[in-house]
Amino acid sequence: MATKRQQAYQDVLNRTPKHIEFNGRVSELFGKNVFHMEVMREYLPSDAFKSMQESIQNGTRLERKMADQVASAMKDWALTKGATHYTHWFQPLTGSTAEKHDAFFKPVGPGRAIERFDGDLLVQQEPDASSFPNGGIRNTFEARGYTAWDPSSPAFVIGKTLCIPTIFISYTGESLDYKMPLLKALNAVDQAATEVCQYFDKNVTKVNATLGWEQEYFLIDQSLFNARPDLMMTGRALFGHAAAKGQQLEDHYFGSIPDRVAAFMREFETESILLGIPVTTRHNEVAPNQFECAPMFEECNLANDHNLLLMDIMEKTARKHNFRVLLHEKPFAGVNGSGKHNNWSLATNTGVNLLAPGKNPKSNLQFLTFFVNTIKAIHDHADILRACIASAGNDHRLGANEAPPAIISAFIGSQLSGLLDEIEQNVKAGRMTPEEKTELKLNIGKIPQILLDNTDRNRTSPFAFTGNKFEFRAVGSTANCGSAMIVLNTIMANQLIAFKKSVDVRIDKGEAKDEAILKELQKLIKESKKIRFEGNGYGDEWVKEAEKRGLKNLKDTPRALKIWSDKKVIHLFDDMKILTPRELEARQEIEFDNYTLKIQIEARIIGDVVQSMIIPAVVDYQNKLLKNVQGLLAVLGEKVGNEAAKAQIELIQRISAHFNSMKSTADLMLTARKAANKFLHAEEKAIAYCDLVKVHFEEIRYHADKLELLVDDELWPLPKFREMLFTR
């Protein structure tokens, strides 16, 4: 009888690509299922359209009457798309999105019904949300949480449901999601950046943070996935010896995309395009069966919604193609993990990218202002940046010599480094002579040219300047970008406010504006120097050097998360009105809990797989060997038989040694789990799971993986890496 693994493998060999043909051009499909501006113009009376436009652009409140009109238009439009239900679509702190569907349909009398949807239903909903994580903010007996409409992100139809992007708050008004603090952070950076822009251009009235994410993921066949309880339950292979061939040949990277995969990509991209997600780039990644998808960048809040939608669409579409998408940061030990680079910049309403060098000294001084302030923000708040990307999954990636290290630093390239050094040394204290000013301006004017040939790219830096944007590379592939974007935009806003204050003081003292700005920049450059690193972030030398510089290397999530209860951090988020101390505390607790739960589930699966899958296979094989030895002894007699069975006996002993070590470590882990469960405090428990439980994982796996190499291939129950990573 074939084992589960053999059946699964047979399934894979029988698969053919599922091509789905679309008629028409992709450009004609773009945004077809989105209630965007143009649709609103068509469906709304003109005064309602104007209020809606106002509300989207300036965040003004929509009057009740207008909300009714918008709801009615939204419903009429959604019905033409075949929608029967609507849902408030929100981002609880679990990391994915949530929805609760209600029908438009409403019975209004015997045998009579209408399709109903009004302003009340659009603006607010009360999902029974008692089981979403809330860090103790909401007791379950007052389980009310509210979702409230975010008009700045357009509604859309998926399948037969109208989805309305919303924030998620508690009965007492505290945020329970990523969207609400993100909107606040974006507002803060808008205000602070607009103020600073006034030094350079009075026409700037709004600054949008922009986000362009790059989503990495693995694909594996559904049947193989189903035969691996670890992948099913944790998204990561907790066992499995590396395949003889990994990624060393680099033959997968940018190679031709297999047919089955291409068919899957075409379908999920088309779905994405219908939903207005501007996906443009796809390619193979470094590891076998690893891929990447990236869109054009967009305004940050919308871009984040789009990323969450995309992850959802990818997972659904993959099933149709008999694949499973693995978004985990490190599904397979020994080959690269997955990240989600967050490309970030600031764009003005006048069409200027504030992190792109300009054509003349004036626009370059503006560029330098935003550039240097970003570096200073990173320098001052590196710990918070580390914490906002911390997760059980990302711990396997950061610092694992193929992903950015857990030490936060910024890479800006040798040319810009040279320029900052020059400013640091050449801006004179006191009044500058006209010659000195001209000299400096000439140098600043050279920025675009020097960037043109600035081709050095540093893939080992967690935070890299790439010519016209910063790329935060340490974000994990499962993460809600909101977490990183809340922090980045908040610390930037905070830094810009401080900068403006200092420059204004200098101007009040009689310094000319440009000189005041340059001197302030010089000060920031000096103060933030230690965060700049141009070398190899994977090297051991960097770990030593970083320590000398006083940069932290927080290797695991529980240590990184501690920063959220630091007084300075609490004040920062409170002062900036992004998160109250209570909200911050709740978030920290949720993060600790998330970590504990993830490790706890992994520990259970490890125990289960060892006990009920690996041990039986090992015993089976040992029995086979023992029978063989017994047979040899019986036929050949003890002396000759022992000589003939030498290799088998040695093998039996090797297997027993690994078997015993695996089993006894698994037992130790079980005891440790019981001890860790006794901690009641979220932080202590997370630390216990990290230091007492997780420490055993590698040892157990080491022996299990050795057994995989020793035991008869026919008997091994778990699909092997070579099967999961090299079949298409």
Give residues in contact with ligand ADP (CB under 6 A): 210-212, 214, 294, 296-297, 343-345, 353, 466, 468-469
Smallest gap from Cβ 459 to ligand ADP, in A, equals 10
Residue 444, CA atoms < 13 Å, CB-side half-sphere = 25
The partner in contact with residue 468, picked from ligand ADP, Mg ion, none with C-beta cut-offs of 5 to 8 angstroms by kind, is ligand ADP
The partner in contact with residue 565, picked from Mg ion, ligand ADP, none with C-beta cut-offs of 5 to 8 angstroms by kind, is none
Q: What is the DSSP letter of 396?
A: G
Q: What is the 3-class SS of 659-701, one letter each residue?
A: HHHHHHHHHHHHHHHHHHHCCCCHHHHHHHHHHHHHHHHHHHH
Q: Identify the CA nearest to 393 among candidates 193, 236, 511.
A: 236
Mask for 299-338, x = binds Mg ion (CB under 5 A): ----------------------------------------
Shortest-Cβ-distance residue relative to ligand ADP: 212
Helical (H) or strand (E) element with 449: helix 447-452
- Integer angstrom CA distances of residue 710 from 8, 650, 651, 697, 721: 22, 12, 8, 20, 15
Q: Tell me the C-alpha distance between 229 and 232, whole Å.
A: 5
- Residue entry with tokens 């300009």: 358
The partner in contact with residue 469, picked from Mg ion, ligand ADP, none with C-beta cut-offs of 5 to 8 angstroms by kind, is ligand ADP
The partner in contact with residue 90, picked from Mg ion, ligand ADP, none with C-beta cut-offs of 5 to 8 angstroms by kind, is none
Rg (CA), the chain: 29
Smallest gap from Cβ 340 to ligand ADP, in A, equals 11
Q: CB within 8 A of 666, min separation 6: which ones?
A: 606, 607, 610, 611, 696, 700
Smallest gap from Cβ 344 to Mg ion, in A, equals 12
Smallest gap from Cβ 212 to ligand ADP, in A, equals 3
Q: Which is closer to ligand ADP, CB of 468 or CB of 622?
A: 468
Q: Which is closer to ligand ADP, CB of 103 or CB of 296?
A: 296
Q: Identify the CA nearest to 193 among candidates 349, 362, 304, 409.
A: 349
Our finding on whether 228 is near Mg ion (CB under 5 A) is: no
In the set 236, 341, 696, 703, which binds Mg ion (CB under 5 A)? 341
Of the ranges 17-25, 340-348, 597-605, 657-665, which one interacts with Mg ion (CB under 5 A)?
Answer: 340-348
Instruction: Find residue 98's DSSP bridge partners.
Output: 90
Q: Which is closer to ligand ADP, CB of 340 or CB of 386?
A: 340
Smallest gap from Cβ 284 to ligand ADP, in A, equals 14
Strand 161-170 and strand 85-90: the pairing is parallel
Q: Which is closer to ligand ADP, CB of 17 or CB of 278?
A: 278
Q: Which is closer to ligand ADP, CB of 296 or CB of 675?
A: 296
Q: CB within 8 A of 194, min separation 6: which ones?
A: 204, 205, 206, 207, 348
Our finding on whether 340 is near Mg ion (CB under 5 A) is: no
Smallest gap from Cβ 341 to Mg ion, in A, equals 5
Smallest gap from Cβ 353 to ligand ADP, in A, equals 5
Residue type, 476: G
Instruction: Output b/e per residue, 37-48; b: 16+ Cβ within 10 A.
Output: eebbeebbeeeb
CA-based angle 484:490:493, to the nearest 5? 140
The partner in contact with residue 72, picked from Mg ion, ligand ADP, none with C-beta cut-offs of 5 to 8 angstroms by kind, is none
Q: Which is closer to ligand ADP, CB of 33 or CB of 307?
A: 307
DSSP string, 621-632: HHHHHHHHHHHH
Q: Which is closer to Mg ion, CB of 474 or CB of 579?
A: 474
Q: Which is closer to ligand ADP, CB of 468 or CB of 553?
A: 468
Q: Which is closer to Mg ion, CB of 99 or CB of 471?
A: 471
Residue count at the site for Mg ion (CB under 5 A)? Answer: 1
Smallest gap from Cβ 253 to ligand ADP, in A, equals 13
The partner in contact with residue 466, picked from Mg ion, ligand ADP, none with C-beta cut-offs of 5 to 8 angstroms by kind, is ligand ADP
Smallest gap from Cβ 473 to Mg ion, in A, equals 7
Our finding on whether 469 is near Mg ion (CB under 5 A) is: no
Q: CB within 8 A of 682, min separation 6: which ones?
A: 588, 589, 592, 593, 596
334 three-class SS: coil
Q: Which is closer to ligand ADP, CB of 457 or CB of 646?
A: 457
Q: Which is closer to ligand ADP, CB of 354 or CB of 693?
A: 354
Smallest gap from Cβ 336 to ligand ADP, in A, equals 16
Smallest gap from Cβ 13 to Mg ion, in A, equals 35
305 three-class SS: helix
Name the site residues for Mg ion (rule: CB under 5 A): 341
